[in-house]
Amino acid sequence: MKKKSAPGAVTSPLIRKPIQRRFALFLLPTFLCFCAGFLWPFIQGIYLSVHSFTTTSNATWVGFVNYTKAFNDAGFRQAFGYTALVAVVSLVLINVLAFAVAYALTRGIKGSNLFRGVFFVPNLIGGIVLGYIWKTIIDSALPVSMSIQANYGFWGLIVVMCWQQVGYMMIIYIAGLQAVPEDMLEAARIDGANGWRTLWHITLPNVMPSITICTFLSLTNGFKLYDQNLVLTNGAPVRRGIGQTEMLALNIAKTFSTANQRGVAQAKAVLFFLLVTAISLIQLSATRSKEVQQ
């Protein structure tokens, strides 16, 4: 068999040169669009975060003033705390529920496939429509609207996130549970371990990779949440100029809509990007170390 260069690409001199000559056809279109749709806006975003501007053409250098302003913005700090709270609470609930459902649906009960299909459905619905469905229901079921009572807004958002993501995480957990070696479970059974002990000592350690993936996925989903937050409460109620249920993404988008605050908004966006990237990097190293153990 041919030698496979480990992480890099497989190539051969026979086909490499002819492909390279077709650069303009194969790589260039994607690269140009990537530049217009990501790379240039990204670089410009970093550049503008240290400038004061209302449009991209009238930017003046202001140094790190925007960042200082972002840190001193009480609304931004509140949004950070609120986002972290939403992310952590939803992370725990989503993962516990998803694991429980996945565990029950891999016991070989009748109708498992149908139930899996049903649980997955909400995941297909976009945040705006999803939020609107639940806003209609929750606001009618409660004595006052979520936009008036901040804790209704909080739990409403958690319910919506669970409904949307439990089915998704369930799919990943089911894949993990089905990969647990049958002989290990068999051995535990023969040794007389009961259901709980088997779950704790055999199943859980074996699905650790799925748990890591789902934990970080729900964490980043929580931090990046925008659509549902916008539809359910749009940050309301507002107390002393600060939206009580405003999350980071919404706070940034709202700051952009004030023309003389755009520099601050862009600085907030860079901080937000650094935060999300940090979470992703921790995830990557966590997943890697788990793979080594196996």
Task: Note whether 94 and 218 are within 8 A (CB).
Answer: yes
| Binds another protein by CB under 8 A, chosen from 86, 172, 188, 202 | 172
Shortest approach of another protein to residue 96 CB, angstroms? 15
Return the residue of 3, 58, 110, 196 that touches another protein, per CB under 8 A.
110
108 binds another protein, rule: CB under 8 A? yes
Paired sense of beta strands 60-61 and 242-243, if any: unpaired
Q: Per CB under 8 A, which of residues 251..280 are in contact with another protein?
A: 252-253, 256, 262, 265-266, 269-270, 272-273, 276-277, 280
Residues contacting another protein: total by CB under 8 A:
98
Strand partners, 238: 243
- Is the separation of the CB atoms in 271 and 67 below 8 Å? yes
Whether the CA torsion 76, 77, 80, 85 is positive or negative: it is negative
Name the nearest CA neighbour of 103 among 175, 168, 158, 165: 175
Does 96 participate in binding another protein (rule CB under 8 A)?
A: no
At 19, list the tokens.
């492909």
Least distance CB 130 / another protein (angstroms)? 9
Contact with another protein (CB under 8 A) among 111, 186, 201, 282? 111
d(CA 149, CA 245): 10
- Cα(50)–Cα(41) distance, integer angstroms: 15
- 58 contacts: CB under 8 Å, gap ≥ 6: none
CA atoms within 13 A on the CB side of 193: 16
Residue 189 near another protein by CB under 8 A: no
Give the one residue of 23, 64, 71, 200 binding another protein; rule: CB under 8 A: 23
Residues of span 46-85 touching another protein by CB under 8 A: 48, 55-56
Q: Scanning residues 113 to 152, which ones bind another protein (CB under 8 A)?
A: 114-129, 132-137, 140-141
Query: Does 231 interact with another protein (rule: CB under 8 A)?
Result: yes
Q: Of 3, 30, 58, 60, which lies in the binding site for another protein, with binding defined by CB under 8 A?
A: 30
- Interatomic CA distance for residues 165 and 122, integer angstroms: 8
> Which of 16, 189, 197, 239 is in the footprint of another protein by CB under 8 A?
16
> By C-beta, is 240 or 264 nearer to another protein?
264
